[in-house]
Amino acid sequence: MNFSQTLPLNIALIIMLLPLIAVGFYYIKLRNSEELWKFALEGAGDGVWDWDISNDKAYFSDRYKEMLGFNNEEVDNNIKEWNNRVHPDDAASLDQAVSDYLSGKTEKYIHEHRVICKDRSIKWVLSRGMIVKRDKHGKPLRMIGTHTDITARKLLETRLENLAHFDALANVPNRTLFNDRLKLALSYAKREKKMLAVMFIDLDLFKEINDLYGHETGDIVLKKVSRQLVSCVRESDTVARMGGDEFVILLPIIDEIEDVKLVASKIVEAVAQPIKVAKTHLHITCSIGIAVYPQHGKDEKLLVINADMAMYQAKNSGKNQAKFFEEAMLN
C-alpha cells in the first residue's frame, strides 16, 4: 500500500484522535490553572481546600495544615478528621452553613468558626468556598475554598466589646451590659413564671476615704470591693458598676426570697472586712436595696428605681444593711 492509499486512513485516524488530544490539553490547562489559582491563594496567606463531595475526600494545602501546626505527613485526606478539629460549639452552625449552601438555600458559603490546633490552642478562621462541579442533575460534586486566619481580628473585636460593655476600673459589666442582661432575664422570668432580684449597692463612707487618702486609693478600694461582690454570687449572676461607688447585682433566677436575703447578708459581711491598701487597713460598709420581680416591679426600669429607693432607706436607717422595697417607701 503506497502513501497515497494510506493518506485517507491517516487523516481519518487523526480526525478521530483530535477530540482526545483536545480533552488532554484541556485537562492539562485546567490542572495548570488550578495550580496557579491555588498558588495565588497560598501566596495571599490563605489555606486552600478542595473537597470531592461524592467520595468525601479532600485536598488540603500545605498552608492550610501549617495554620493548625501540622506538617504534610501528619494528616490524610479524610475530611472527617478535619471536621473533628472544629470547635464543638461551632460544629452545628458550620454543618448548617455547608448544608444550606449545597442545597441552594444560600447563594454563598461563608462561615466564621474556631478550630483546634495541634497544640490544643484555638484559632478563628474565615471559611469561604464555592461549588465548581455538578453532575447532569445539578447535584454538587466538588467544592473548593479557603480558610483565612482571623484570630487577631477576633481578639480585637473582643477587646472592643469589653471596652463597650465592661467597666475598665472594676473589670465588671457596666450599666449598658447590665441593662441588656436584665432585659433578657426578665423575659425569661415572665415566660417561665419565675422570680428574679435586683440589688442596688452603695458604699458607705467611700467619699471620706477618697477625700482623706486620694482617688488612687479610692480606685484600689473599688477594685477590691468589686472582686468581693463577684465572690459572693453565682456565675450566672451579674455584678455591674453603675458609676462612682454604686454597684448593681442581678440574680436572674431565685426560688425563694430567703435566697436573696442570704446573698445580701453575705455581701454586707464581705464588704465590711478591712481592706488593706499599702500599710493602711481601711474600713468600709455598704447599703443594699432589693427589688424582686414580680412583687416590686414588672419592668426593668421600675425594678432598678425601686431597688435604688430601698437602698436609700437602708442608708438612712443606719447603713451597713440590706432592705427590701416596700410600698410605704413611695410616701
Residues assigned a catalytic role: 245
Three cell numbers, residue 272? 465590711
- Are 49 and 62 in contact by the 8 Å Cβ rule? The answer is no
Three cell numbers, residue 168? 475598665
Half-sphere exposure (Cβ direction) of 97: Cα atoms closer than 13 Å: 16
d(CA 107, CA 296) in angstroms, rounded, equals 50
Three cell numbers, residue 14? 487523526
Q: Assign 3-class secondary structure to 178-198.
A: HHHHHHHHHHHHHHHCCEEEE
Q: If you ran DSSP here, which 8-state letter would residue 329 be given?
A: G
Question: Can you say how many angstroms the Cα of residue 19 is from the centroid of all Cα atoms in its chain?
Answer: 55
SS3 category, 262: helix
Residue 313: CB partners within 8 Å, gap ≥ 6? 289, 323, 329
- Are 259 and 291 in contact by the 8 Å Cβ rule? The answer is no
